[in-house]
Amino acid sequence: MNRIEMKLGSFSIAILLLCTFAISRAEQFSVKSPNQMLTLSLEVGEGLTYSVAYNGREIIKASSIALHLASGTILGNEPVVKTTDVVNIDETLYPVLGKNKELANSYQELSIVFEGNYALILRAYNEGVAYRFKTYFDHEIFIESEEANFVFGDPVGSVFPTADPTMRSWERAYDTYSSLAEINQEQFCVTPALFRNEEVNIVIAESDLYSYPGLYLQPIGEGAVKGKWAHYPKTVSDPDDVYAYHRVLERENYLAKTEGTRSFPWRVIIVNEDDKDLLNNELVYKLATASKLEDTSWIRPGKSVWEWWHDAILETDQVESGLNNLSFDLYKYYIDFAAEFDMEYITMDAGWSTNYAAQVCSYAASKDVGVIVWDFINLPIENPDRLTQIKNFGAAGVKIDLIERDDQEAIDWLEQLADECAKRELLLILHGCPKPTGLHRTYPNIVNFEAVRGAECAKWDRTPNPTYHTEFPFIRMLAGPLDYTPGSMRNVHDDEFEPVPHGIPMTMGTKAHELAMYVLFDQPLGYLCDSPVEYRKNMVAMNFLKKVPTTWDQTVPLEGKIGEFAVVARKKDNDWYVGAMTNNESRSITIDFSFLPTDETFAVEVYRDNVQTEQDAKAIGYETIEVTSQAVLDFNLARGGGLAMYLKKAVPTSTSDLEQERELNLFFNFDREVLNIESPEDIRKIKIFDLLGRLHFSREIPAYQKSLQVNIGHLNHGTYVADVEITDARMRQKFVK
């Protein structure tokens, strides 16, 4: 008995010594964010495991990572550190296109070189952390598999963009789970994907993906997810029809065959407490390779008129319309509309013909309108001269569609397309494509990626709804810009909606909700999906759409909660825009205008839900107000509703300028607090100044009229100047209140 106990005791001591040896053998490394809130730690022992702490609390526990080569070598198994190097970077980035003109790029980086020709790079930013592998082989290597595990420190729920099992679609709706245990363990999701505990949001994404398959995530039990990837294609269908898909029929037993010396994609973990901060997180962009284009002066963002969403149906007898009548005359109609309303582009989508493409491009150029031409992925990939042909038509860009793969070969296509388009000074829009991972930084001629359930999906299902609109800006937009294609004027509430696959569809959400998309959604090429005829019926909306930019100098998230509502302010030059939207619940929002410069007054055009909107989603209110940085205002949003604002600095008018103006032929009658104005010509705009040049009232008149009533109850007693802009002149007249 004692001998057995002694043997067991000796065995226990031996185990303890082994454990102690293993623990002492492990090396610890870490990087910290500039604000010291985030720590990314790496333990080098028998393998590589990382962890992430936020504000001292472990939010990702020890999680194993490795690269498995087909040769049998495992990068990360029995690792031996050769050298380490730490750098602290504090610089400014200047995106060619995007939601901020300048980006602070501050982080701590640790490079750890291991024996066996590989390294691991760790970075910590205030917005999140990331790691990536690097290899230094002098021959081609095959990546058999990758270990990328994410073990959460606390129980998490998820806003889970469930993937297509065939890995052919990135336009995914979200499923919300309170626990990972609720998710079918066979399911997986596209990235970015959001996980959250009671304190923080954790978004897992990737950046700088090239010549490697895209990342998916699959649950492992109740507390972790792991990376999943499409394997390299072995057999692909080769149909005779160039417009038929090249489907993968069989895959290899490896993920990638690639150069031996290279960097692998960043595995990105974005961390924050306040939902609204996700609306301006650009970590994926910051981690991507810098622009390879020396000259970007030809890259012009803007808005595009587009025929496909409404089936090219124009409710007019001025031209034959419909998808069966695509012609030069029809596109001329769209071009004339674009030119009239200062739209930079039109898009010829599927069905255009080479018979008139050059003629369309030539006519558009005469109106200073560019042409985007749709094309199927097979054509430019299989025929190197295809992009040259499109450029020779006179096109400004191409919209490449139906990629529907993100294995290594398909990811190579994206870089090839971006590079070939850039050589020809063609903008590139990607549809039916994988989610962005920073390639738009490397090739800023890529203006939009689809990878979102945009307005086109309203043709066949209910997924592009107000709740979805308040989800993806916090998650999908972390990856990069969208191609949602907003602009519907056929607005209905959710209980009235029906998909319309052929003909003119409708969309869920109010008209003000639709206008807010142009401020809230990142889209350097902003589409107007409805018909020119319909926009002419909606001049209040068109007044905003004509003005709103598509790229920004500064983005300021104001309020937001994932799946409920979002409010964002954006600056362009000296002007500001505000967009707000809610899900299918009506709510009141408070806007604090402290983002404005102090001691300045801004004239504000407000496009909002009104008292009729709860019953009629098309109903929209328009008003003008003035605000300063001290203003705090409440606004009511209808169910599925929204709000859009245009804020322009009020420019004082001097009295000396007033004296130079001719006498006005206006007639003023006073009825208590109301100023009645009658004009011989249509009134376009009215401003009211005091004699010191301070602006007290400003209003644009979208539906021009010759008589107008202005409430002046807010004015103090005194002398004022009414400044009225009419069709061909500006007239001013003093009045006394």
Give the span between the Cα atoms of 5 and 16, in whole angstroms. 16
Amino acid identity of residue 685, one-letter, is K
Each residue of 704-731: pLDDT tens digit? 777 777 888 788 777 778 888 887 677 7
SS3 assignment, position 597: coil
Average pLDDT, the chain: 92
Higher pLDDT, 303 or 677: 303
Q: For residue 280, which amino acid is it?
A: N
Considering only 281-290, 494-503, 683-692, which range has the smallest mean pLDDT?
Answer: 683-692
Q: Are strands 201-207 and 193-196 parallel, antiparallel or unpaired?
A: antiparallel
SS3 547: helix
Give the pLDDT confidence of 55-90 residue by residue, as tens digits. 999 999 999 999 999 999 999 999 999 999 999 999
The fold adopted by the segment(s) 655-736 is Immunoglobulin-like (2.60.40)
Q: Per residue, what are the HEC states of 515-531?
A: HHHHHHCCCCEEEECCC
| E runs forming strands in 593-637 | 602-608, 621-627, 632-637
Which of residues 653 and 330 earns the better pLDDT score?
A: 330
Q: What's the confidence (pLDDT) of residue 17?
A: 38
Q: What is the pLDDT of residue 246?
A: 82
Buried b (16+ CB within 10 A) or exposed e, 413-428: bbbebbebbbeeebbb
- Separation CA 620–CA 611 (nearest Å): 9
The encoded tokens of residue 59 equal 């939010």
Length of the chain equals: 737
Cα separation, 724 vs 735, whole angstroms:
13
CA–CA distance, 511 with 597 (Å, rounded to integer):
30
Dihedral class, residue 611 (left if φ above 0, else alpha if ψ from -120 to 50, else beta): alpha
The per-residue pLDDT for range 628-644, each reduced to its tens digit, is 999 999 999 999 999 99
Give which of 168, 172, 163, 160 is closest to 463, Cα–Cα: 172
401-414 confidence digits (pLDDT tens): 999 999 999 999 99
Residue 526 contacts residue 518 (beta carbons within 8 Å): yes
Domain residue ranges of the chain, discontinuous segments joined by +? 29-273, 302-607, 655-736
CB 254, CB 144: distance < 8 Å? yes
16: Cβ contacts below 8 Å, ≥ 6 apart: none
Beta strands in 283-356 (DSSP E): 302-306, 345-348
pLDDT value of residue 652: 61
pLDDT given for residue 726 in this prediction:
81
Q: How far is CA 405 from CA 50, 409, 431, 566, in A?
A: 30, 9, 11, 32
Does residue 622 surpass a pLDDT of 60? Answer: yes
As a whole number of angstroms, the distance between CA 189 and CA 214 comes to 11
Residue 113 token pair: 């070189």
Name the nearest CA neighbour of 194 among 223, 171, 169, 217. 217
What mean pLDDT comes out for the span 139-162? 98
Closest CA to 435 of 660, 124, 106, 213: 213
> Residues near 292 by Cβ (< 8 Å), separated by ≥ 6?
419, 422, 442, 443
Residue in this structure with the two tokens 């300028």, named with its chain if needed: 657
- Take residue 603 and report the two structure tokens written for it: 């004239």
The pLDDT tens digits for 641-686 are 999 999 999 866 443 333 333 344 444 444 457 777 777 678 888 8
Given the DSSP bridges, would you call strands 302-306 and 525-528 parallel, antiparallel or unpaired? Answer: parallel
**More confident: 715 or 368:** 368
Mean pLDDT of 525-531: 99
Residue 9: predicted pLDDT: 42
Place of tokens 């991507």: 288
The confidence score (pLDDT) of residue 691 equals 65
Task: Kindly state the tokens that stand for 183.
Answer: 């998710």
Return the SS3 of 220: strand
**Is 29-273 a domain of CATH 2.70.98.10?**
yes
CATH code: domain 302-607 is 3.20.20.70
Give the predicted TM-score (pTM) of the model: 0.87
Give percent helix, percent strand, percent coil of the chain, each to the nearest 5: 20, 40, 40
pLDDT tens per residue across span 172-225: 999 999 999 999 999 999 999 999 999 999 999 999 999 999 999 999 989 999
Q: How many Cβ atoms are within 10 Å of 722's Cβ, its own excluded?
A: 21
